[in-house]
Amino acid sequence: MSSLKHKGVGPQAMTANGLRKGPVVYMREQLDWSTDYAEALITEDEEIIAHMDEAAQLASVNNLVVGAYFIDIDADSREPVRYRERFRMNGPSFDPGRPTYAEHAKTHGATRLSES
């Protein structure tokens, strides 16, 4: 398990929840946040990881996100290593009659967090 202070192994992504509405979000290359995992910045570059760490702390202080932390990413599949994180990425699995989180995001488009 990785953490805000990066201790993970291999590629890393940064995740959190949006403060105002609560959705799972991922840090993008621009060091802002998106609900779409496909837009997540995934890197092993320690310098970039340090920037991500700083940006996440700033976003927490600026009340944009809550509970930011790094997650380990599988180098081959490019998906989160931990089972729990794969669930956060995909949303609830259980009800075919109700849109899953990913489907909901697809219908409504990815959301980017803003200060307002």
Partner 1 sequence: MYRYDEFDHQFVQSRTTQFRDQVMRRLDGRLTEEQFRPLRLMNGLYLQLHAYMLRVAVPYGTLRSDQLRRLADIGEKYDRGYGHVTTRQNMQFNWPELVNVPSILDDLAEVEMHAIQTSGNCIRNVTSDPWAGAAQDEVEDPRPTCELLRQWSSLHPEFTFLPRKFKIAVTASENDRAAIRAHDIGIKIVRNAAGEVGYHIYVGGGLGRTPIIAKSLNDFVPRDELLNYLEAVMRVYNRYGRRDNKYKARIKILVQETGIEQFRCNVEAEYAAMIPADITVDAEELERIAEYFSPPKFEAVSQNSGEIEAQRKADPEFARWCNANLGEHRMAGYAIVNVSLKPIKGAPGDITSEQMRVVADLADDYSFGEIRFTHEQNVVLPHVKRSEALAVYDGLKAAGLAAANINKITDIICCPGMDYCALATARSIPVSQAIAQRFADPERQTVIGEMKIKISGCINACGHHHVGHIGILGLEKSGVEFYQVTLGGDATETATVGDKTGKGFSQDELIDGIERMVDFYIEAREGQERFLDTYRRMGIAPFKEVLYADH
Candidates 5, 76, 95, 107: give the one binding partner 1 (CB under 8 A).
95
Query: C-beta of 48: minimal distance to partner 1 in Å?
Result: 25
**How many other C-beta atoms can be found within 10 angstroms of the C-beta atom of residue 82?**
15
User: 51 or 82, CB closer to partner 1?
Assistant: 82
DSSP β-bridge partners for residue 65: 18
| Mask for 37-56, x = binds partner 1 (CB under 8 A) | --------------------
Q: Does 112 bind partner 1 (CB under 8 A)?
A: no
* Helix residue spans in 3-116 (DSSP H): 46-61, 83-90, 101-108
d(CA 7, CA 14): 12
